[in-house]
Structure 1
Amino acid sequence: MNICYNQRPWADLREELLNIISSNLNIADYLSIGRVCRSWRLFNSEYEDGFMASKSPLVIHISSQAKKACCFHEIATGIKYKTMLPNFICDFKFCLGVSGGYLIMKDTWSQKIWLINPVTGRQFQFSRVRKLSDNIRFSSDRAIFASTGSQDQDFVVVILSCRNQNLEFYTSRNNQWKEYSFKLKNWHILDMVVFCGRIFAITNHSQIGILDLRNFDLKFLTLKFAPRVSSNVRLVTSNNNILIVDYVNVNMIKVYSINVKKMEWVVMNNLGQHAVCVGDGGIISCKLIDPTKWGGQSNCVYVLLNDGCHIHSLKNGEVKTIRKWRWDDKTRMYSWYFFSADNVRGFD
């Protein structure tokens, strides 16, 4: 073996070279370079957010035919990834949502809430008081998981059940479950989102309220000119505002924001360089994205359906399909999947 003593070891590669290497990698390979050595792991951690922002959103898909396998599809390139889930996940029946990089599931027998990161394997478990209504799962049930403070340990899990007419939420600071009931005739909460450490909700009467986590009261904003919304309306957070996406079907989508000064709804016909990801289904996660970083189309709505990914232009209402697929009858769930700071190292 000939040894060249002038060569530098892999761990000492300059940051400029690592940038060149990483810019040509797919997501799975990029997550793998952090396993090479300590210096590469530090590089991976420092530039991970920027790298993930340069990639298109992923679609997560779980089928009962592929036991323990969780599949991901990159919509821009069509690249597929796979990761393995823990054994107990194979028996789960109900996925309530995909939020903050976690699958939110309800255990069929114990009614415990499980949060599992399909990339890292990190998981949380929260016990709940069993109710008679827990024996049935309705399609209107959905859940979110989000940070409520500057520290990682401050978070909230919120479960919305339109059929049972209540909001259940677990706060890490109080380490307990609380409930807000709204048993009113012809009145329902359709969606909720965590924004600036508070829970915002929207009703079927186009009311937008803020849930006070201290006294468990829902206070509504006094807004003018509120339009009638469909049952599939979704709340999406932006950098400094909340967007309301009223999704009827792929051809009928409207996006609104709230003008705080005038306290009224405003139709958003131009999102600038941004776009919104939504879908047809309660558990599908929604998010405001910047598609210009990976060559996607801006000022539009990316719609995830069971036959593929479609784009609805907010400029002219034109709809086009960018990726086709057909989920089988064994599909347990599918949703958008967005990386968070906790999503590291786990793809095969």
Structure 2
Amino acid sequence: MPKEYQIKLPHNTTGKNVKVEENCELPWDVLHIIAKRLDFDDLFHFAGVCTNWRAFHKIYWRNFLTSQKPLLLHKSYHGNNQSLYTLGSISDQKDYCLKMKSCFIQSTKAIYVSSSGRYFIMLAHDNSFLLINPFTRIKKVINVSTFEVKFQYSANNALLAFGKSSEEFVLVVICDLNVSRSLNVYQSRNCGWVTYSTMENQGRVVNFVVFQYKIYVITDKANIGVLNLNSASIKFLELKSTPRGRIPAYRCWLVCCDEQLLMVDFIRNNMLPNVYKIDFSTMSYVKLETLGDIALFYATCRNCYALSDPNRWGYQSNSVYIVDSPPYPKCTMYSWDDKKLQKDITLPSPTSPGRHFALGWSFRHLRDEVDYSLVE
């Protein structure tokens, strides 16, 4: 049984030639085998079979959601302008089909933005953002009235964070507005949008991440600041050094892992990025020559995540996994240990005919939280 799903079994169960008890209860190791073969929709109905299955499902589903195993979100197009979303596990070579028509039927014309906090963030044609959680079937619609988002462009990036020990949430997006780009923040506690601006010498915000209960942002001049959710301002760190040159928005990412804040810069025509750690003791960038026991997961121009102890999930440490889209998505692993090593990894076989595109990585265990009391 996989480590992430170790469950205490009932007495007298071996997993082989098990007799079903008179009350029709199945041993939990058998239920585990059944559950692994089910899609998300089927798993939702799994708990409704009987008390025995409901008790197993409660533990299985909790472990499933907190698993750090990376999933890839795919979108496929086929006849009659129909589209299908699937989440693929490379290590398991399995596609989980998302059949939730109530959530996705109105989203076929929406533009996928990012995956954050177990939600898929999408930009709809009616100038609203859709927050869709396929694991709980929750959908939130955030209307935009204070600014207009051009439908033919997606927001460059988006982040969803919840208040600490609360269901209040913050949605942070960077939107294309005519020829300019703006940082916009929605807070559920006041149901309003605020547009943030930065001083010209600091540059434009191009990316953000939650780190130690605060939202950190980075500009195209490599300046880093903390978002103040109480006063619509950004407090920039007094860094003693920054990487040289302007950083294009499509290649710069802030990533947190193992209590470290990292800046990842995917250099043009070089699949091994420059990675810097923000050293808060010296207030400077420190270029890393190795990632150690960390792997990076990057979907071109979509999102970037870091995972510690990746060997546990079937991935290699000190490496970067990059996913391209056209014509059919593929994943390539690049190693820091052997910079000449490139390994193409087979993605789960498509479950339907048509064109397939990788939209980005999804880490279902992540639920970013912010603490309002930490913001000055």
Residue 238 to residue 49, structure 1, CA distance change in 2 (3 Å): farther
Moved more, 210-219 or 316-325: 316-325
Q: Distance in 2 between matches of 1:70 and 1:312?
A: 27
- Asked if the contact 2:68/2:365 (under 8 Å) is kept, the reply is no
What per-residue deviation string (whole Å, max 9, x for no partner) do you get for residues 33-57 of structure 1? 4343344334333354544666742
1: distance between equivalents of 2:172 and 2:228? 13
Candidates 160, 165, 190, aligned match of 2:174: 160
Letter in 1 for 2:188: S
Q: What SS class does the counterpart of residue 134 from structure 1 fall into?
A: coil
1:193-246 deviation per Cα after TM superposition (whole angstroms, max 9, x unaligned): 123332211111111111111111111112233213642111112242322111
Aligned equivalent of 1:117: 133
- Residues 223-274 of structure 1 show CA distances to partners (whole Å, capped at 9, x for unaligned) of 2332136421111122423221111255231222111111122233444433
Moved more, 25-34 or 298-307: 25-34
1:320 paired residue number: 343
Distance 2:124 2:215 in 1: 25
Equivalent in the alignment of 1:63: 76
- Residue 322 of structure 2 is matched in structure 1 by 303
Contact 1:106 1:114 in 2 (8 A): yes
Structure 1: give runs of 5+ residues left out of the alignment.
343-348
Matched residue, 1:97: 114
Q: For residue 45 of structure 1, what is the aligned residue in structure 2?
A: 58
Distance 1:141 1:170 in 2: 16
Q: Which residue of the other structure, out of 155, 158, 180, is the alignment partner of 2:196?
A: 180
Tell me how far 1:332 sits from its aligned partner: 6.8
Q: SS of the counterpart of 2:53?
A: helix
Aligned length: 329
Q: 1:117 to 1:250 in 2, by over 3 A?
A: farther
Distance 2:128 2:218 in 1: 26
Taking a change above 3 Å as real, the CA distance of residues 58 and 27 of structure 1, as seen in their structure-2 partners, is farther
Match of 1:225 in 2: 241
CA contact (8 A) 2:65 2:365 kept: no
- The answer on 1:197 being equivalent to 2:213 is yes
1:22 pairs, out of 27, 32, 47, with 32
- Can you list the C-alpha shifts for 1:50-89, whole angstroms capped at 9, x where unaligned? 4466674221111332625212221123222211243211
| Aligned amino acid, residue 277 of structure 1 | F
Contact kept, 8 Å, 1:165 with 1:181, in 2: the verdict is no
Query: CA-atom RMSD, angstroms?
Result: 3.4
1:182 Cα deviation (Å)? 3.6
Cα pair 1:101 1:340 within 8 Å, conserved: yes
Partner residue in 1 for 2:10? none
Measure the CA separation in 2 of the matches of 1:288 and 1:180. 30
Task: Give the TM-score taking structure 1 as reference length.
Answer: 0.80
Change (3 A) 1:140 1:6: closer
Percentage of matched positions with identical amino acids: 27
- For the residue of structure 2 that corresponds to 1:206, the secondary structure is coil
1:42 and 1:296 map into 2 onto residues whose CA distance is: 32
Question: 1:155-304, aligned counterparts within 5 Å?
Answer: 155-161=169-175, 163-182=179-198, 184=200, 187-228=203-244, 230-231=247-248, 232-248=251-267, 249=269, 251-281=271-301, 283-284=302-303, 286-304=305-323
